[in-house]
Chains A and B, each alone.
With several copies, the nearest count.
Chain A
């Protein structure tokens, strides 16, 4: 089951079992739920930009598989401290890599996040891995434009 281990790297399973920045976001209306229509996963995201113009906190809530949960968790760690502009750039690179439009080497400097590159070998899981990132992209669009 080597191939499977490429997908479910230890870091991913760790973030799945102990997700960072997962919080109860039931105060956010269901309208703002981000959904993956092809599988039923759904996610809420709260992204707060502080007075210093940097992202102060990223929280998520929802039901998802190991990949989507770990991806949200890893993303939340990564985005905190970035400016919205920087965050957008990061997200775009990540989405490109996952869509196969950019080499996964681009993730090499991303630390733990790199492990998500393995998802590209499982095309049907790409949507799981990108759900949180699409959600963040949308939140960032609405928070500054």
Chain B
């Protein structure tokens, strides 16, 4: 899944020394941080880029003529160019900075919803979505008197894609205006067949929103190759800082969509009766942008490129294989999600027989292993699968084989403790 834009470096395999580039981990040598699907740690280069920004370049952007504002504006726009290139978007105008995936998805749901939805229409989501790609669409459908329909989930936490055929047969496909789906499920790690889905959307003239919050951290994505019309991701899950997210959208849609948040920077003229809007991408960026965070996000993408995208991916795949094999062999452990390793990435959701996942997580914490327990903001999926909560370990490139082994040992310990 390496895109062709970057020279794939041929350097040696990435080793555990990568962990040392992350100050929080370097300062906590005993910590096995396995909650990467929630948020990632940040490398030194990201922290120092933000720090440098505040110490040398901080100013408000766009509207000032002095040198510092020029530098700050450049910092913002250069970061936008980095994101554009990383995603292979057609132009920088298509790159809208948000504070998070959630904000990007809300922007789509409010603005695209207003543009496209009429009473009786359908918004199609999957039952495997994170709440941030589910509730905004539910609310948008409500506002428009449209209907929310969810692609059901199979036992192995894959999408029941046959359902698309059902929608064709019973005529509902014609009424679908928007389809919103994750690239990878944050709860189970399932990789969804997004090219098949986007091809189906094309066929039925459906606008597709892709939630890449869990995929962008694991491999680069060429937005034009996805076939989607929109894509969101969060910097803080991608080795970048909190407060920097990206919404990419096709210019043809962004041009037509009404603005959502209004205020400074996004206007052209303001009169009492009526305002007109600034050009893209500013139309969708009301208020003072978080330049420092955006600079940090660009530094994170640059760090990934410099470290080598294929090396990162290779290392993660290896860790993932190891984790999978170890976990499935633990007695009394039920591992959720696809059995085919090619259909999953990074996330391992499980339960120990007779022990609540909270108690497992608490036990692991005492062994300095940080995992998550709960519904992972995916209640509809949990309900479909008839589970209340799971323990979830999720990987990033700085994790080690040893940490995975410690995880498995501690799980066995927990089984005995309770």
Contact = CB atoms under 8 A, between A and B. Distances in A.
Contact of A37 (B70, B268, B382, B418): B268
Contacts of B74: 123
A144 interface: no
A42 B388 contact: yes
B69 A124 contact: yes
B65 interface: yes
A125 B73 CA distance: 13
B366 A4 contact: yes
A124 B63 CA distance: 8
Interface residues of A, number: 25
A41 B389 contact: yes
Contacts of B389: 39-41, 63
A97 interface: no
B375 interface: yes
Contact of A124 (B65, B382, B417): B65
A10 to B, nearest CB: 12
A13 interface: yes
A66 B418 contact: yes
B370 to A, nearest CB: 12
B359 A65 contact: yes
Nearest to B367: A1
Nearest to B70: A124
B362 A35 contact: no
Given A13-B418, A65-B359, A123-B74, A39 B374 contact: yes
Contact of B375 (A3, A8, A39, A66): A39
Interface bin, chain B:
20 to 34
Interface string B76-87: 000000000000
Interface in A80-105: none
B64 A124 contact: yes
A38 B358 contact: no
A7 interface: yes
B65 A40 contact: no
A9 B43 CA distance: 40
Nearest to A13: B418
Contact of A38 (B63, B357, B366): B63
B288 to A, nearest CB: 14
A136 interface: no
B78 to A, nearest CB: 12
Nearest to B379: A40
Given A40-B388, A40-B389, A4 B363 contact: yes
A80 B373 CA distance: 33
Contact of B362 (A7, A37, A63, A123): A7
Contacts of A38: 62-63, 374
Interface in A1-41: 1, 3-4, 7-8, 13, 16, 35, 37-41
Interface of B: 62-65, 69-70, 73-74, 267-269, 278, 356-359, 362-363, 366, 373-375, 379, 382, 388-389, 417-418
13 contacts: A7-B362, A8-B418, A37-B278, A38-B374, A40-B379, A40-B382, A41-B358, A64-B356, A123-B74, A124-B65, A124-B70, A125-B65, A128-B358
